[in-house]
Amino acid sequence: MHRSDQLSGMRRQYQAHSLLERQAPEAPLVLLHDWLEQALAHEPPPSEANAMTLATVDEQGRPHCRVVLLKGIDARGLVFYSHHGSAKGQELAGNPRAALLFHWPALERQLRIEGEVEQVAGEEADAYFDSRPLPSRLACWASEQSQVISGRGELEARLALAKYRFLDAEPPRPQGWGGYRVIPHSLEFWQGRADRLHDRLRYQLTAGGWRRERLAP
């Protein structure tokens, strides 16, 4: 366990990049694409540049977060996949709003996104599911995500059953598994700078389009 004085003394001097208004496009999704491409190119293994923390809220108003993988992005929003019966799926069914956080330490950047959430169309989910490796598709049939199980042996037995069931056929997408699209209404781009004077640009969607503003670090 770390001693408190070790933790309080941990600091990093950020100086790799800057984020000035003249560098930032009017449309936040353009900047999002640029930052994501740079992260894919510069975040070293085993880092996953498409990993993002997803925060949801349950029916009691308690927040929950976990790391998921970004699997699609376009003008409509950002897409990830999961079981609809999982904890996150149930929370999104009750409150279809979410927050996302990307952290790209090699680039000294964070990106916060907030928005509404919708399920992707079945055809889109089918296409992604069919592109996954066979073991991943079989695992979707074996696991009832977030449900209590008796042990690892139960999970392995379910996987063996799924392998037998689809021995001579390609496993289709399970009915309870699919995609979610986060439709952003707020994006905050954070760029680490020297002496904690970080750059923070926030885009918020208004009736007239995107409004960009600088926030104090």
Active-site annotation holds for 109: no
Catalytic residue among 3, 62, 165, 196: 196
Instruction: Tokens for 35, please give them.
Output: 């930052």
Give the active site residues.
196
